Amino acid sequence: MAKTWRCAVVGSGLAGGWHVQLLPTLENTQLVAVCDVDPAHAKAAIESAKAPNTPVYTSLEEMLGKEKIDILHVGTPSGDHFTPARTALERGINVITEKPMEITLERIDQLAEIAKKNGVRIAGIFQNRWNVANRAMYDARQQGRFGRIAWAGCFTPWYRPDKYYQEVPWRGTWALDGGAAIMNQSVHAIDLLQWIVGPVKRVSAYSSSRIHPKIEAEDTGCCALEFADGGYGTIMGTTAMFPGGPVRIEIGGENGTAVSEGGLRVFKFREERPEDAQLLERFVPPMPDIWKKRLAEAGGPAVMEKLGLNAAVSTAGGASNKDVKIELHVKNVRHILECWEAGRDAETNPAEARKSVAIVLAFYESSRRGGDAVDVK
Ligand SMILES: NC(=O)c1ccc[n+]([C@@H]2O[C@H](COP(=O)([O-])OP(=O)(O)OC[C@H]3O[C@@H](n4cnc5c(N)ncnc54)[C@H](O)[C@@H]3O)[C@@H](O)[C@H]2O)c1
């Protein structure tokens, strides 16, 4: 019989709350406890997960001492993943952290070492790798269908009101968020860019806070970059563009171009395959609301569903951090469990999770130096 993983969550705010919600729904996980320094957050999470009898703790040590736990899911602020993750790993408990795994490379590398030393595993969440449009682009790249890449870019044109930063004081701070729009929001798309295209060699960046003067770090930034294979690229990220739109990933080379933006917009190769057109049809970006309304009036949504249209699942996040759907988190966690059961590391292991953080840190270093080119470590 397949193993049942006994899971606990530490830090049960927005993202930790998604883990609390998904754990009771998976076939091979059991939610055994939730810990949060603010017990009201833990209680709200277990209630919305319809698991109100789950034990709640305010001390991680106490939870780990009392409960039998196989995996600790870490949903504390990004710059405070290290302490709970290390505490669990040193007790022989596996760890799944939210993105980014941590905000420095040293801490990510140390966590990998501690896991190894204690014979357990650690993996991160980068749920957008399980978005069908992004995975189709990844597969095309793996199959060499783009040829030599000329240029590739990622754009995160999001919006967060002042309230977003004011209501949760760690957001936008260097110590706990590790930055702001680039480390917190754009890191998703930066991970996708480097995962699909390949390693980034150096960046030349600019960033500052354009409309959120009270936050320590940037709300807007962009960079030119050079990939290790010589191609060029761009990263743009902001939380200052009202009303916020979907993430866009764009890749083009000698034999093809692909664009994802809430779904697949372009997927065109010199060597065409019949499944390309099918992919484009199936993973068409979501329709504008006005079209949906007209279609609904004409009795159309059932027809759309029947045809399997609009099947792309995306974490929009454009205008709010609350419009993220948890399907991709479910896929990411399922993948981690499958790998661990098979005795291997997950795709989002520390060596992978550190790559986007390395790019973000080079981005910040370059920006501090007025746009000088900085090599990615
Ligand atoms: N994958 C995604 O799409 C996604 C989306 C949002 C946030 N995140 C990530 O999730 C993490 C948390 O972000 P959030 O927006 O959910 O934050 P949040 O502020 O909503 O939640 C953090 C929670 O941790 C608790 N907490 C803080 N320090 C703690 C400690 N030492 N021990 C126990 N509990 C503690 C807080 O009380 C709060 O409930 C961040 O790393 C963030 O980057 C990921």
CATH of residue 91: 3.40.50.720
pLDDT at res. 283? 80
Q: Is residue 273 located within the same domain as residue 156?
A: yes
Q: Which residue's alpha carbon is nearest to atom 39 within ligand 1?
A: 13
The 10s digit of each residue's pLDDT in 185-220 is: 999 999 999 999 999 999 999 999 999 989 999 999
Q: Is residue 363 located within the same domain as residue 234?
A: yes
Predicted model pTM:
0.93
Q: Is residue 229 located within the same domain as residue 192?
A: yes
pLDDT at res. 309? 46
pLDDT at res. 308? 47
Residue 277 lies in a domain: yes
Q: Which residue's alpha carbon is nearest to atom 33 within ligand 1?
A: 36
Pairing type for strands 256-260 and 264-269 reads: antiparallel
Is any ligand 1 atom within 6 A of the Cβ of residue 282? no
pLDDT at res. 313? 41
Atom from ligand 1 closest to the CA of residue 125: 1
pLDDT at res. 295? 63
Question: Is residue 4 over pLDDT 50?
Answer: yes
Q: How many whole angstroms from 71 Cα to the centroid of ligand 1?
A: 17
CB 240 within 8 A of CB 261: no
Share of the chain above pLDDT 70, in %: 89
Is any ligand 1 atom within 6 A of the Cβ of residue 295? no
Q: Is residue 50 located within the same domain as residue 151?
A: no
Rounded mean pLDDT, 352-364? 98
Residue 83 lies in a domain: yes
Q: Is residue 187 located within the same domain as residue 266?
A: yes
Residue 180 lies in a domain: yes
Residue 200 lies in a domain: yes
Domain count, the chain: 2
pLDDT at res. 68? 98
Q: How far apart are CA 8 and CA 113, in angstroms?
A: 22
The 10s digit of each residue's pLDDT in 119-131 is: 999 999 999 999 9
Q: Which domain holds residue 337?
A: 5-128+329-345
User: What type of residue is 64?
Assistant: L
CB 259 within 8 A of CB 220: no
Residue 351 lies in a domain: no
Q: Is residue 113 located within the same domain as residue 207?
A: no
Residue 5: strand, helix, or coil: strand
Is any ligand 1 atom within 6 A of the Cβ of residue 173? no
- Which pLDDT band holds residue 311 (cuts at 50, 70, 90)? very low
pLDDT at res. 282? 83
CB 46 within 8 A of CB 57: no
Going edge to edge, which strands form the sheet with 71-74? Answer: 56-57, 29-35, 5-10, 71-74, 94-97, 122-124
Is any ligand 1 atom within 6 A of the Cβ of residue 51? no
Q: How many whole angstroms from 81 Cα to the centroid of ligand 1?
A: 9
pLDDT at res. 307? 46
Is any ligand 1 atom within 6 A of the Cβ of residue 80? yes
Q: Is residue 192 located within the same domain as residue 276?
A: yes
The 10s digit of each residue's pLDDT in 146-180 is: 999 999 999 999 999 999 999 999 999 999 999 99
